[in-house]
Structure 1
C-alpha cells in the first residue's frame, strides 16, 4: 500500500490509545504500519530533501494536529494519552480527517491562524501534504525551473566555454586541477579529451573529461566508444562524459557493460542540478531557516 496521508493516520493513531493508558510513539508507528501494511521500502522512503522519511514526517504531523485539536495529550516527551474528546470523536466517526478536526476551535486556530475563510465541514481536507512536504515540493519545483533556465543559457554557450564550465564545476565538487595543465586541453589535437582533473586536490589519479554541448542531439554509443578509445590512448581507465543534452539508451547500456573502464555519464539535467548544488552560475536569492524544538534543553537530568 502507499504511505497514508497524515490525516489518514488519525484513526489508527487513536486506536492504540483507546485503553486510556499512556503509549509511546513507537507503539503508534507500529499500529499505523500494521493497519496500512507498509513495507520496509515504504517506511524508508525519504522526502525530496532526503533529511527525513515521509512516514516519520506524516505521523509527526498527525500527532501534532491531534494534539492541537485536543484529542490527545502528552504527559511526557514521546508518550501520548487520549482525552475524553478524543475517545468521543473516535466512537462517533468512521472516518477522522481534517473535516472532523475543524469542529475544534483550537485546531482551526492552529491550522488557519487569523484567516476567516476556511473550508466547510463537508469539504475535503485542506491539503494532502504536511507543511514539510509542501516546502520540499516547492523547493524542488523552484530548482527545476532554475535548472531549465541554466540549460537554456548553456545551450547558447560557446563549446569551448562549455568545456571550461565543466572543469570549473568538477573543481568546485572537490576534484583537483592538474597544475601543469590549463583548465582544458587545447582546442585542437586534444585526441578526444576536453579536460583533465584529479580525484582529489592532492593530485592522485587523473580523470579525463569529455564535454559535448548539444542543443538537440543526444549523445549516442559511437560517441562513448570514441571516448573509450581516447582513454585507452592515454593509458587511462576513468572518465567523465558530460553533455548539455541527453544520452541514448544504447550509450547508457554500453557504459554499463564496459567493465574495463569506469565512465560516469552526466546529462544536461544532472549537470544543472550539480551547478545549483555547488553554486556555479547561480546566486542565492533568499535564505529561510527552519528550526525545530531542542528537546535536550527541556530534559531533566
Structure 2
C-alpha cells in the first residue's frame, strides 16, 4: 500500500471508486492513512479496489455486446443466484414480439410463481419513469405481479419512486449493482488467485 500510494494516479483512482460507491470523496491525506491499516484491512481494501476495476470492465464489455447478450446474461445470473428449480429455470423471450418482456424466471419447480425480466443496454441515458411504467403495463398484460428491471446505466429518482409505489413487486438493478452481483455469484468472472491469511493460534499457546 505504501508503494501504491506513492502514485498520484492510484490515489485518484481510489477517490473515483469511493464516489461510485456513494461514499464521500477522500482527500490525499485520508487515502494516505491506508498505510496504517492492519494486514487484513489492507487485503480487504486491495480486493475492493480490484473488484471496482473489474466491475467497470464488466459493464463496458456488456455494453459492447448486442442487446440479446444482456438478456441472456440476466437470466443466467438469476439462475446462479439460486432462482428456479428446474434444469431450465429461465426462458428468454426477447425479440420483436416480446411485448416488453425479455425473459422469465420460474421460482418453483412447477412454474407456478414467475418473475418477468426486462433488460436495457443503455450507455448514455438513464432509465426513467416512462420505461418503468411500460414494464408494469407489460406485467399486467402477462397477468404477473413480479418483475426485475436491469440496466447497464442508472435509474432516475422518478423511476425508483414509481417502482416503490406500484402494486407490482419490482426490483431495479443498475449497472454497478449488476456488475457487483456478477462478481459475487461468479457470473462472467473467474477466480484469479486465492490468498490464505494466517494468525497465531492462541489455544496452542494456552495448552498446559
- Is 2:118–2:135's contact at 8 Å kept on the other side of the alignment? yes
- Is 1:184–1:194's contact at 8 Å kept on the other side of the alignment? yes
Aligned to 2:192: 285
- TM-superposition CA deviations, 1:236-270 (whole Å, max 9, x none): 11110000111011101111222x11100000010
Aligned mates of 1:283, 1:125 — CA distance in 2: 31
Aligned mates of 1:182, 1:255 — CA distance in 2: 23
The SS at the match of 2:137 is: helix
- TM-superposition CA deviations, 1:68-124 (whole Å, max 9, x none): xxxxxxxxxxxxxxxxxxxxxxxxxxxxxxxxxxxxxxxxxxxxxxxxxxxxxxxx9
- TM-superposition CA deviations, 1:122-150 (whole Å, max 9, x none): xx989332222211111100000000111
Counterpart of 1:188 (choices 75, 81, 96) is 96
Counterpart of 2:121 (choices 184, 195, 213) is 213
Aligned mates of 1:128, 1:297 — CA distance in 2: 29
Counterpart of 1:197 (choices 105, 109, 129) is 105
Query: Is 2:172 the counterpart of 1:265?
Result: yes
- Is 1:197–1:206's contact at 8 Å kept on the other side of the alignment? yes
Query: Is 2:54 the counterpart of 1:146?
Result: yes
> Rg bigger for which structure?
1
- Is 2:94–2:101's contact at 8 Å kept on the other side of the alignment? no
The RMSD of aligned alpha carbons is 2.5
Counterpart of 2:146 (choices 238, 259, 274) is 238
Residues 239 and 157 of structure 1: CA distance in aligned 2, closer, same or farther (over 3 Å): same
Aligned to 1:128: 36
Residues 129 and 187 of structure 1: CA distance in aligned 2, closer, same or farther (over 3 Å): same
The SS at the match of 2:92 is: coil
| TM-score after normalising by structure 2 | 0.76
| TM-score after normalising by structure 1 | 0.54
Query: Is 2:78 the counterpart of 1:170?
Result: yes
Residues 240 and 126 of structure 1: CA distance in aligned 2, closer, same or farther (over 3 Å): closer
**Aligned residue pairs: how many?**
177
Q: Which runs of 5+ in 1 are unaligned?
A: 1-123
- Is 2:150–2:178's contact at 8 Å kept on the other side of the alignment? yes
Aligned mates of 1:230, 1:146 — CA distance in 2: 34
Divergent runs of 4+, >6 A? 177-182
Residues 143 and 202 of structure 1: CA distance in aligned 2, closer, same or farther (over 3 Å): farther
Aligned mates of 2:89, 2:39 — CA distance in 1: 50
